[in-house]
Amino acid sequence: DAGVIQSPRHEVTEMGQEVTLRCKPISGHDYLFWYRQTMMRGLELLIYFNNNVPIDDSGMPEDRFSAKMPNASFSTLKIQPSEPRDSAVYFCASSPYRGRGILQKNTEAFFGQGTRLTVV
Partner 1 sequence: AQSVTQLGSHVSVSEGALVLLRCNYSSSVPPYLFWYVQYPNQGLQLLLKYTSAATLVKGINGFEAEFKKSETSFHLTKPSAHMSDAAEYFCAVSDLTGFQKLVFGTGTRLLVSP
Report DSSP letters for 32-48, one per residue.
EEEEEEETTTEEEEEEE
Nearest residue (CB) to partner 1, 35 versus 65 = 35
| Of the candidate residues 12, 27, 51, 55, the single one contacting partner 1 (CB under 8 A) | 55
The rounded distance, in Å, linking the Cα atoms of 2 and 66 is: 26
Q: Shortest gap between Cβ of 81 and partner 1 (angstroms)?
A: 27
Interaction mask 60-99, partner 1, x per CB under 8 A: -------------------------------x-x-x-x--
Nearest residue (CB) to partner 1, 64 versus 116 = 116
109 interacts with partner 1 by CB under 8 A: yes
Cα 41–chain centre separation: 16
The CA dihedral of 68, 70, 72, 73, to the nearest 10 degrees, is -80
